[in-house]
Amino acid sequence: MKTYTTQMDAAKKGIITPQMKDVLEMETISEKELLKGMAAGSIALPANIHHKNLKGIAIGKGLTTKVNVNLGVSKDCCDFDLELGKADMAVDMKAHSVMDLSVSGDTRAFRQKLVEKMPVMIGTVPIYDTLTRTGKKGYDITLEEWFETVEIHAADGIDFITIHAGLTQKVVKSIHTNPRLTGVVSRGGAILMEWMIKNNKENPFYEHFDRLLDICEANDICISIGDGLRPGCLKDATDAPQIEELITLGELTKRAWARNVQVMIEGPGHVPLNEIEMNMKLQKKLCHNAPFYVLGPLVTDIAPGYDHITSAIGGALAAMHGADFLCYVTPAEHLRLPELSDVKEGIMASRIAAHAADIANGIPGAMDPDIKMGKARFELDWEGQFEVAMDPEKAREYRASSQPEEETVCTMCGEFCAVKRTRDVLIS
């Protein structure tokens, strides 16, 4: 008989859940450390009770850096089969979660398909879906309609939901006194800000946060508290509105933990390299070491078409200094809905960033595949290199596309191969 309400409640009671057993199989953390981190809130294990085929994955202190893949349809590009293909690719390429951001069509049917077939965590933004579901303008949504959508997503088995509960009236005023170059770039943040201003009311998810916690506790949903005022350009990074909202996110975190509801904190955004470490440490301090989920950060604004690279640079540095969860960015960011090829590039860029950070953070075993690669390269063992590569298929294609005269080397150096020369001198 189940004797706990949520994963956090189980951890506080010293109970190892089936999902925790999954985590212990894939991480090097000890059972004691996992329970301690989850009880304290520094580790989150999103696992909705209705997501039956979920394999538990945890995010936070002492764990490997995780990668999320965003997908979903829009009015202009509404092909649910294509999005399911992206989800399958995400799982095949070892992403740890999928977020459905669909804003058109039969979103519930698609969401239910995702939950039914995906073994990884599923996240959503109910604020978007409320507009799609009701067909109303954002400012015409009622309080009941906001929460009805959350309840629907809970019943559908969504493991974590992004809710921009920290965008209060006080924070909105901060935007007026601290003008921004790009204003509000968060879709959820912009929708709620419009609702608040046009209705002259407080953020419904802030004012009725306990009602949100009721739903999350009953279904064991992790709240990913959204950063409605994340900077949308380098000029706006680390400004007063962003920090004002972050302080509120920290307050909401403690309220959620008191109800045994798990929390992640979402973070920027567009941040210059020299401000990333400060942003990570500030979040951890103000939000009591809750797991940090970042979009990027993107370290320059002028590389559309290459933002998977600008994001990977920022993501590696962010994860080295405290970020726990990287939301992938594709080459299509800021330009269009990503295609399958964009999704692959985005996943690989984020996985590389996450792995680089795990090595820098001294995660036990993180460097093991790199050591295997170094050994295979010195032995001129091409098959061994492919086996340990993050993307064996691409590595094989490149190798096959340009064959050398001597099969042990490559066409970059040929007879001038330093490794072959060294082996001939040292080993022969």
Residue 423 known to bind ligand: no
- Find out whether 233 is annotated in a ligand binding site: no
Q: How far apart are CA 102 and CA 67, in angstroms?
A: 19
Residue 274 in marked binding region: no
Bridge partners of 69, per DSSP, are 98
Q: Spell out the residues 6+ positions from residue 152 whose beta carbon is closer than 8 angstroms to its own.
A: 108, 126, 129, 133
200 is in an annotated binding site: no
346 is in an annotated binding site: no
Contact 122, 96 (CB under 8 A): no
Q: 270 a known binding residue?
A: yes
* Residue 77, annotated as binding a ligand: no
| Residue 254: φ, ψ to 5° | -65, -35
Is 227 part of any known ligand binding site? yes
Query: 362 a known binding residue?
Result: no
**Cβ(224)–Cβ(264) under 8 Å?**
yes
102 assigned ligand-binding residue: no
Tell me if 288 is assigned to a ligand binding site.
no
Residues shown for the chain: 428
Rounded (10°) angle between helices 307-320 and 340-360: 20
CB 42 within 8 A of CB 289: yes
β strands within 113-209, DSSP E: 121-124, 160-163
Please give the single-letter amino acid code of residue 17.
Answer: T
- What tokens were used for 204? 């419904």
Question: Strand, helix or coil at 144?
Answer: helix
Q: Could you give phi then psi for residue 142, rounded to 5 degrees? A: -90, 165
Type of residue at 164: H
Question: 14: Cβ–Cβ under 8 A, 6 or more apart, which residues?
Answer: 35
User: What's the CA gap between 346 and 152, in Å, rounded?
Assistant: 30
Check the annotation: does 413 bind a ligand: yes
What are the residues whose beta carbons fall under 8 Å from the beta carbon of 381, sequence distance 6 or more? 375
Return d(Cα 248, Cα 189) in angstroms, integer. 14
Any known ligand binding at 27?
A: no
Is 216 a known ligand-binding residue?
no
Name 425's Cβ contacts closer than 8 Å, sequence gap at least 6.
none
The reply, when asked if residue 62 is annotated as ligand binding, is no
Q: Is 99 annotated as a binding residue?
A: yes
Residues annotated in the binding site for Zn(2+), as ranges? 270, 334
Residues annotated in the binding site for substrate, as ranges? 70, 99, 128, 164, 186-188, 227-230, 266, 293
Residues annotated in the binding site for [4Fe-4S] cluster, as ranges? 410, 413, 417
Residues annotated in the binding site, as ranges? 70, 99, 128, 164, 186-188, 227-230, 266, 270, 293, 334, 410, 413, 417
